[in-house]
Amino acid sequence: MEAFMGYDVIVVGARVAGAATALLLARSGLKVLVVDRAPAGSDTISSHQVQVPGIARLARWGLLDALVRAGTPATREVRFDGDGTVLRGSFPAYDGVDALYSPRRTVLDALLVDAARAAGAEVIDGFRVEELTAEGGRVTGVRGRARGGTALLTYSARLVVGADGKHSTVADAVGAARYRQRPALAFASYSYWSGVPVTVGEMYQRPGRAVAVFPTNGDLTMVYVAAPLPSFAGARADLEGHYLATLDRCGDLGERVRAGTRVERLRTTPDQPNGFRAAHGPGWALVGDAGAVMDSVTAQGITNALVDAELLAHSIVDGLTRGRLDAALARRQRERDRGLRAMYDLTVSLARFAPPSLGQRQLLAAIADRPAEVSRFLGMFAGMESPARYFGAPNALRILGARGVGRLARRLATARLCTES
C-alpha cells in the first residue's frame, strides 16, 4: 500500500455498521478514524433482535462473551403465532451459534466502539460531518464541527465510509443513486417492561399487526408492535392505547404485559424507509442502513449491518492491498445486493400487511408438528436461508408432497373460479 498523509479510512457513524467496519479495518492494520455526532454510549430508536448470523459475526470477532457478560440473555427458542398456526422451535446452528440475542443498543453499540478503539481506531464522538472534501472528482475527506465548537475541522483519508444511517449525509453529499425504493409502509412502537418474564421469544402476526417480545438486558422484556402506516394518523392521539389494544389481540400477552411495569417511555416511529443506494464511488463507500435499509418488521437491520461491515472491510483491505479498490468495492456491492434481495422483498411484503397466501398458510400448517422443519423456517426468518428459496416450488413440493401441492392447486383454481364467477 502506498503511503498517505492522513487516515486510510474515515468512517462516519459509530453504531453497528460503522463501529464494526472500523473494528475490522483497524484489526487489519489500517489507520482508521470513526466519528459520530451522537455521544458515545447513547441510545437510538431501534429495538434490537440480532439474528443468529449477526451473533455469529460477534462471536467470530471475539465479542460474544462480553455481550453475555453484560447480562444479555440468549433466546434459543421462538414461538411464532401466525394467527391460525402456531410454530414453536429452535434456531438451527449457524457457524457454531444457535441463539438470537437482543442487546440494548447502549450495550451493543458501545461494545463495538470499545473494540474498535482497542484495535487502534481513533474514535471522536460528538463530531458532526457537514460536508465532504473532494479533489479531481474523488472524495478525499470530511469536514465538520465538534459538539459545542465553532471551528470547521477537516480530516483526510483515502476512503470515506458513510455508516451514518438511513438519512446518510455521506450518501446525499455524493448523490448515491437510489434503487428498489419503496415508500415507508409501517410504523413501530416499542418499550421495556419489568415483571413480564418470557421463556422463549414470541412473535405474533395478526391482520394489520405484527408483534415481537424478546428478553433483553436488565431483566427487562422488550415488547414491539408494528402496524400499517395509514393507521398512524388515527393511532397518534393514543399511541399507548393502540399498542396495548394490539397486545390484547395476542392471546394472554396483553394481560401479561398489563400485569408488569413499563419502565421506559413508549417509543414510536413512522420513519421506516425501504430501499437501496449505490454503495460506492470514487473515494467513498456506504455501509449498513446508509446503503440499504428495510422496515423493522423482520428485525434484520443490525444483522445486515454487521454482515455488510464484514463484506466491506474485506473488500477495502483487499482493494487497497492490490491497488484495485474500486473493483473490490463494485464486487462487494453486487454481493451485498444478492445477499439482501430476497429478505428485502419479504420484509416489504410483511410491512404491507398483506394476508399470507393460501400456499404460505398451507406450508406453515404442514410444518407445525415437524420440529426440524420449524427450525428451518425460523432459520429462514433469521436470514440463514433465502426466503425466495424457502417459499419456492421445490421446497413447497418437498414439504407438502405431490398430493398436498395438487390439493393446493385445486383449491387455488376453485378460489379463482369463485372470484371470476
Ligand X SMILES: Cc1cc2nc3c(=O)[nH]c(=O)nc-3n(C[C@H](O)[C@H](O)[C@H](O)COP(=O)(O)OP(=O)(O)OC[C@H]3O[C@@H](n4cnc5c(N)ncnc54)[C@H](O)[C@@H]3O)c2cc1C
In the complex with ligand X, which residue's Cβ is closer, 54 or 283?
Answer: 54
How near is the Cβ of 81 to ligand X at its closest, in Å?
18
How near is the Cβ of 340 to ligand X at its closest, in Å?
12
Site for ligand X contains 17 (CB under 6 A): yes
Q: How far apart are CA 33 and CA 113, in angstroms?
A: 11
For ligand X, which residue of 274, 296, 315, 333 counts as binding (CB under 6 A)?
A: 296
Print the binding letters for residues 352-391 with ligand X: x by CB under 6 A, - otherwise.
----------------------------------------
Contacting range for ligand X; rule: CB under 6 A; set: 249-257, 274-282, 285-293, 398-406: 285-293
Q: If 0-12 CB within 10 Å is exposed, 13-18 middle and 19+ buried, where does residue 123 land? A: buried
Look at the alpha carbons of 61, 66, 71, 77 in this order and tell me if their dihedral is positive or negative: positive
How near is the Cβ of 174 to ligand X at its closest, in Å?
13
* Residues within window 202-261 making contact with ligand X, judged by CB under 6 A: none
DSSP secondary structure code for residue 73 in this structure: P
Site for ligand X contains 292 (CB under 6 A): no
In the complex with ligand X, which residue's Cβ is closer, 39 or 137?
Answer: 39
Q: How far apart are CA 163 and CA 14, in angstroms?
A: 7
Site for ligand X contains 88 (CB under 6 A): no
How near is the Cβ of 323 to ligand X at its closest, in Å?
28
Contacts of 77 (CB under 8 A, 6+ apart): 88, 89, 90, 199, 200, 201
Q: Where are the alpha helices (DSSP H) in 266-300?
A: none
Contacting range for ligand X; rule: CB under 6 A; set: 145-153, 292-300, 348-356, 360-368: 292-300
Site for ligand X contains 48 (CB under 6 A): yes
Q: Which residue is nearest to ligand X (CB)?
A: 301
In the complex with ligand X, which residue's Cβ is closer, 221 or 300?
Answer: 300
How near is the Cβ of 281 to ligand X at its closest, in Å?
18
For ligand X, which residue of 7, 24, 26, 47 counts as binding (CB under 6 A)?
A: 47
Burial 290-312 (b: 16+ CB within 10 A, else e): bbbbbbbbbbbbbbbbbbbbbbb
Site for ligand X contains 188 (CB under 6 A): yes
Contacts of 29 (CB under 8 A, 6+ apart): none
For ligand X, which residue of 8, 36, 202, 373 counts as binding (CB under 6 A)?
A: 36
What is the bridge-based pairing of β-strands 100-101 and 74-75? Answer: antiparallel
Length of the chain, in residues? 421
Q: Are 253 and 204 in contact (CB under 8 A)?
A: yes
Q: What angle do CA 388, 394, 397 make, to 5 degrees?
A: 120
Contacting range for ligand X; rule: CB under 6 A; set: 252-260, 277-285, 286-294, 331-339: 286-294
390, containing H or E segment: helix 387-390
At 114, the amino acid letter reads: D
For ligand X, which residue of 164, 221, 348, 387 counts as binding (CB under 6 A)?
A: 164
For ligand X, which residue of 34, 35, 320, 350 counts as binding (CB under 6 A)?
A: 35
DSSP 3-state of 338: helix
Site for ligand X contains 22 (CB under 6 A): no
Closest CA to 14 of 162, 144, 160, 158: 162
Q: How far apart are CA 217 and CA 67, in angstroms?
A: 10
In the complex with ligand X, which residue's Cβ is closer, 66 or 124?
Answer: 124
The three cell numbers of residue 232 are: 398512524
Site for ligand X contains 108 (CB under 6 A): no
Contacting range for ligand X; rule: CB under 6 A; set: 37-45, 252-260, 319-327, 401-409: 37-45
How near is the Cβ of 6 to ligand X at its closest, in Å?
18
In a 13 Å sphere around the CA of 319, the CA atoms on its Cβ side amount to 25
Contacting range for ligand X; rule: CB under 6 A; set: 68-76, 160-168, 230-238, 246-254: 160-168
- Count, residues near ligand X per rule CB under 6 A: 35
* Residues within window 252-271 making contact with ligand X, judged by CB under 6 A: 269
End-to-end CA distance of the chain: 71
How near is the Cβ of 55 to ligand X at its closest, in Å?
11
The three cell numbers of residue 64 are: 460474544
Give the footprint of ligand X on this chain (CB under 6 A): 12-13, 15-18, 35-38, 44-49, 128-129, 163-165, 169, 188, 269, 272, 288-290, 296, 299-303, 305
